[in-house]
Amino acid sequence: MGKVIIWGLKSDYHSHKFIQSAFHKNFLRMGFDSLWVNDRANNAHIIQAGDIVFAVDAAAKNLPIVKGANYVLHNMSPEAMQLEENHLVIQVHTSSCSGTNVGIPYVSWDAANRTLFQPWGVPTPPQTWRSPKRNRSANEYWVGSVWNNELNQGNTHFIEEYVKALGQQNISFFAKGTPTRIHPNGISESRSMSYVQNSAVGAAVVGEWQKNNEYIPCRLFKNVASGALPSSNADFSVLFGTEGGIFDPDPNLLIQKVLALEYSEKCRLVQEAQQRILPYTYTAGITRILTFLMNR
């Protein structure tokens, strides 16, 4: 096996930049020779036979096809690239994914289309994960974007309801870490975890499209790793168990139930949840990717 190349978005502004960054950092943690490069024609010479190239449609205009190299693609067609068996497609898990479950929730393998469906997961290693804070905060920190699009796939509407419900409990809402063109890297993993750990609720709420299509946000795993109770307006009990978290579509009830938990019970549930998300670290996801990539 050659080196790993994360192709695209190193210097560019895009939401997928954080996923590229997480792959690069975790390959390095695992001892791989990993390079992260921009989608530039003058980087084409870097890819050699035996290398593993991670690419996404948002940054693949100058991606070269090198004989003997292996390609891991997101939102790209291997047929259009004339790739044969030296490729793997990775897609996020939704209710419409195909294939066979591999033995853990939200992960499926479609052998016919060489597609692995799995959540992006949590980028930080378990030894950095945190416990709940004892004292209740008067603030709720949302790390990431509040957004919507023409297909109404975003979270804006439910976030508005969530903010109103927080206000009824005298909790102030603050959005943090949204990347901009001036600050394309957002905030550090450590600072992100601190914001979530110091949140009154720390719920991983989602928009209606995400809930109806069973999209699994990486925020769900990141928040648990940061010491937050598994909680959402979507039902993730298939992963955490019916008694392993608070899942309620009503934002008022969701918040009230989380706040009503005793600190000792919250600690117990978070510890159990952190054990349950171990298969969803980036290192675990990378191991699955490499296993199926080499399964030809």
**CATH number of the domain that 223 lies in?**
3.40.50.2000
What single DSSP character describes residue 28? H
Q: Are 87 and 179 in the same domain?
A: no
Whether residue 269 contacts residue 132, with contact meaning beta carbons closer than 8 Å, is answered with no
Cα dihedral: 216, 177, 4, 112 (round 10): 20
Side chain identity, residue 112: A
Region label for 125, one of left (φ > 0), alpha (ψ between -120 and 50) or beta (otherwise) = beta
pLDDT at 218: 95
Q: Are 74 and 142 in the same domain?
A: no
Q: Are 176 and 257 in the same domain?
A: yes
| pTM across the whole model | 0.95
Q: Greatest CA separation found in the chain? A: 60
Q: Which stretches of the chain score pLDDT less than 50?
A: none
Q: Alpha carbon 103 to chain centroid distance? A: 20
pLDDT at 296: 72
Compute and round to an integer the Cα radius of gyration of the chain.
Answer: 20
Token reading at 95: 């209710």
The parent domain of residue 265 ranges over 126-278
pLDDT at 177: 76
Whether residue 83 contacts residue 65, with contact meaning beta carbons closer than 8 Å, is answered with yes
Strand order, beta sheet including 34-37: 34-37, 4-7, 52-56, 70-74, 87-91, 115-117, 108-110, 100-101
Q: Are 97 and 152 in the same domain?
A: no
Q: Are 186 and 271 in the same domain?
A: yes
Q: Are 101 and 14 in the same domain?
A: yes
